[in-house]
Structure 1
Amino acid sequence: MNDMTLRQIEVIRAVMLTGTISGAAGLLNVSAPGISRLVKHTEETLGIRLFERKAGVFIPSVEASRVFDQVREVYRQVESLNAAVSSLKCGEDVRLSFATAPSIAQFIAARVLQKVRGVYGDLFVDMNVLKIEETVDYLLLERGEFVIMSSPVKNAAIENEEIAEGRLVAILPEGHELSQKEKVSASDLAREPVIGVDPNDPYGALLAKPFVQAGIEINHAMRGRFAQTVVSLVRHGLGVAVIDEFSVAEVYMPGLVRRPLVEDVPIKSYVTRKKGRVLSRFAEDSINHFRRQLERAVKDGPWYRAQK
């Protein structure tokens, strides 16, 4: 007995479902004579009668019951395969794990996930917020696929790719006298209570750069560990600060005024990943969205407009 082709299996199933040659032809969108010839050829090849013809209706024969059982099983497996592919396309039964620096997490990451979930509606997302010193373990232990950071990670097993460049900006409480200026200098800020991050921290060292450029020794009135903390303290009128523009990349931030700095200090964003790791499609798409959203934050931000 010869093997059946997938086309023969497809035709036999169509006849099983519809009970007629014309019905099978309509189901498969082919001509009825072609279906009839293929059924006859299959029966001759297999050496068994697949269907009994009664009053123009094709009824599966008893002797071919095992064949039809296998045909049903093949189609169940095909349907399962199609369902699995469909699930992958829309993000079902899979997850996306990644992390970002605190400065990216609040606004940029939310916009990225809005885009990603718009395509993969059922994708489970596990997003962590990490400091740079936590990144190596996170990636090398494969807790997540990638991390978005404001500094490159120095490790031989990690690769870094720059995806955006922004600027540091000044943030002031609403109504502060410095908000009358188009640009604010480090010396302006140094005369006020300055809120910052420990300069021994890589992110804190970056925020201190305008003061270093101006030759000013910075004396913090308050310190926080994360960008969000610094922003919150300023919004509550407790001082002024330098922050990266991505941390305040929101159109409406009541209680807060943002101004460009006289000192031009760039801040870059990097995607870091374990060398040699193949990223999922969800991760690749997310990184592309991060790139676009970071670029948009720079071009559409108030510092860009103020400097034009």
Structure 2
Amino acid sequence: MRFKLRQMEVFRAVMLTGSINAASKMLYVSQPAVSKLVAHTETTLGLRLFERAKGRLIPTAEAQALFREVEQVYQAALRVDEFARALALGPASLLRIACSPSLAPAIVAPAIVELKRQLPGLRVDWHTTLMADMPLEVLSKTVDVAVTSLPIEHEHLEVVPFMRGRMVCVLPPDHPFAARERIALADLKSEPMILFRRDIPFGTMIARACQQADVELTSVVDVTRADQGLALVRGGLGLAIVDEYATGGVDCVVRPLVEDLEMVSTFVYSKFSPPSRSAMALMQAVCRRADELGRRIGAVNF
């Protein structure tokens, strides 16, 4: 390997700080050592990475392109380091969770709070992501368990339904429809809409419902996350259709739809790796949260 990890680390430090002096302080090494390694890296790669100007290093276009790749490698290395440290503490000391963004505040966050009170020594790595990315994350063991707004189909994944919800319409408080108890898709034909992209599950669900109702909605902005749509509704750009769990605490009017756009939330984990005790504890806490909301379905036993 011509471009070694130590060279990447020094190159990244110079890119972030803009000078040999600052990079050496960041890495706790001498300036000559950093300068020598930068020069050696340029020679071995056959690339001019920096232009020298008044004591600063100006990255070339090649350096900018290389930095994007190096940053991905560096972040991956940090995750490996974190994982190794967790293994040293014991295999059950780290729980990695992914969830759909709309489930984060109302469902998953309270469950994590409960879990940490039960297991204060447990380290939790939690992020939100789109459902399209979850299968790879679970199967590659980047996460231990995923919590999805809608079911995922994959032959190597266990998909366990635990909660039912519905799509709702969100509108500004001063909109005429705010006086209605329910809103039909047909009512929205002439309204500016903020809609999920059609290539993601929520967007597909809404498009299918519109097709069945023989309704064509006009999207002024396509989004991938409910919080994006809610922010645009608050700004007065239009109305949105989102899942009900995303609407907690929003300063907008939320109305159920006449049409029943049902969503079934699930736990997802690998068929090849049974969930750990901490993963099962998390799923139990999530189920209790679903119980509190009166949305629990199925008899999930962990």
Cα displacement string for residues 185-221 of structure 1 (whole angstroms, at most 9, x for unaligned residues): 1112222110011112222112334423321122211
**How far, CA to CA, are the matches of 1:159 and 1:139 in structure 2?**
10
Aligned length: 208
Tell me the CA shift for residue 294 of structure 1: 3.0
Counterpart position of 2:238: 239
**How far, CA to CA, are the matches of 1:144 and 1:178 in structure 2?**
42
Counterpart position of 1:277: 273
- Report the secondary structure of 1:293's partner residue: helix
Provide structure 2 residue ranges, at least 5 long, that are not aligned to the other structure: 1-88, 297-302
Instruction: Give 1:156's aligned amino acid.
Output: E
Tell me the CA shift for residue 130 of structure 1: 1.6
**How far, CA to CA, are the matches of 2:200 and 2:186 in structure 1?**
22
**How far, CA to CA, are the matches of 1:184 and 1:216 in structure 2?**
13
Tell me the CA shift for residue 225 of structure 1: 1.5
Counterpart position of 1:125: 124
Instruction: Give 2:270's aligned amino acid.
Output: K
Cα displacement string for residues 63-99 of structure 1 (whole angstroms, at most 9, x for unaligned residues): xxxxxxxxxxxxxxxxxxxxxxxx98xx9x8111010
Counterpart position of 2:257: 261
Contact 1:209 1:265 in 2 (8 A): no
**How far, CA to CA, are the matches of 1:215 and 1:296 in structure 2?**
37
Instruction: Give 1:124's aligned amino acid.
Output: R
- Report the secondary structure of 1:99's partner residue: strand
Q: Structure 1 residues 122 and 236, CA, compared in 2 at 3 Å: closer, same or farther?
A: farther
Counterpart position of 2:176: 177
Match status 1:142 vs 2:141? yes
Match status 1:290 vs 2:289? no
Mapping for residues 155-166 of structure 1, pairs under 5 Å: 155-166=154-165
Tell me the CA shift for residue 118 of structure 1: 2.0
**How far, CA to CA, are the matches of 2:228 and 2:128 in structure 1?**
14
Provide structure 1 residue ranges, at least 5 long, that are not aligned to the other structure: 1-86, 301-308
Counterpart position of 1:197: 196
Q: Structure 1 residues 281 and 296, CA, compared in 2 at 3 Å: closer, same or farther?
A: same
Instruction: Give 1:95's aligned amino acid.
Output: L
Contact 1:198 1:225 in 2 (8 A): yes
**How far, CA to CA, are the matches of 2:118 and 2:194 in structure 1?**
40
Q: CA RMSD in A?
A: 2.2
Tell me the CA shift for residue 272 of structure 1: 0.9
Instruction: Give 2:103's aligned amino acid.
Output: I
Q: Which is worse superposed, 127-136 or 203-212?
A: 203-212
Counterpart position of 2:43: none
**How far, CA to CA, are the matches of 2:112 and 2:139 in structure 1?**
24
**How far, CA to CA, are the matches of 2:105 and 2:295 in structure 1?**
19
- Report the secondary structure of 2:217's partner residue: coil
- Report the secondary structure of 1:164's partner residue: strand
Contact 2:188 2:217 in 1 (8 A): no
Mapping for residues 35-114 of structure 1, pairs under 5 Å: 94-114=93-113
Q: TM-score, normalised by structure 2?
A: 0.64
Contact 1:207 1:243 in 2 (8 A): no
Instruction: Give 1:292's aligned amino acid.
Output: R
Instruction: Give 1:222's aligned amino acid.
Output: V
**How far, CA to CA, are the matches of 2:295 and 2:178 in structure 1?**
21
**How far, CA to CA, are the matches of 1:239 and 1:134 in structure 2?**
29
Counterpart position of 2:166: 167
**Percent of matched pairs sharing the same residue:** 26
Q: Structure 1 residues 207 and 117, CA, compared in 2 at 3 Å: closer, same or farther?
A: farther
